[in-house]
């Protein structure tokens, strides 16, 4: 007789479940990522950037753009983005947002977790 099992330990998942400060920080971070990334999201009708607001489960650590064409836009497959509504619009919009806002995001999370 033999047994086989796989044990996967996710320390961040455990911390998130039991530490209200970490849970609060994750919600704040998800909100800031969506808010700060919006200027980089291509916009024609607004459905794409709104799908990031409504498609994100705040506090989960996953920001999701749920518009049917979001994947194609993100990777810029045969796309030419208008810069009228969002002058910084580009493919892979999270990357320039992260480059511009990472320090602020890290500082904000630290402040919430440390109770400051």
pTM of the model: 0.82
Question: For residue range 30-74, what is the model confidence (pLDDT) as tens digits?
Answer: 999 999 999 999 999 999 999 999 999 999 999 999 999 999 999
Give the integer Cα–Cα distance in Å for 70 and 101.
Answer: 22
Cβ proximity of 55 and 66 under 8 Å: yes
Give the integer Cα–Cα distance in Å for 40 and 49.
Answer: 9
Question: For residue range 18-41, what is the model confidence (pLDDT) as tens digits?
Answer: 688 999 999 999 999 999 999 999
Provide the residue ranges of all domains of the chain, joining segments of one domain with +: 37-54+65-116
- The pLDDT of residue 80 is 85
Give the integer Cα–Cα distance in Å for 77 and 56.
Answer: 23
């Amino acid at each position: 007789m033999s047994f086989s099992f796989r044990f996967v330990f996710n320390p961040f998942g455990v911390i998130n479940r039991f530490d209200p400060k970490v849970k609060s920080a994750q919600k704040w971070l998800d909100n800031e990522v969506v808010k700060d990334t919006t200027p980089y999201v291509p916009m024609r009708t607004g459905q794409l950037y709104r799908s990031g607001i409504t498609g994100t489960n705040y506090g989960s650590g996953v920001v999701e753009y749920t518009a049917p064409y979001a994947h194609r836009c993100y990777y810029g497959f045969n796309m030419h983005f208008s810069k009228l509504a969002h002058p910084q619009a580009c493919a892979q919009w999270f990357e320039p947002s992260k480059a511009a806002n990472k320090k602020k995001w890290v500082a904000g999370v630290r402040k919430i977790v440390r109770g400051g």
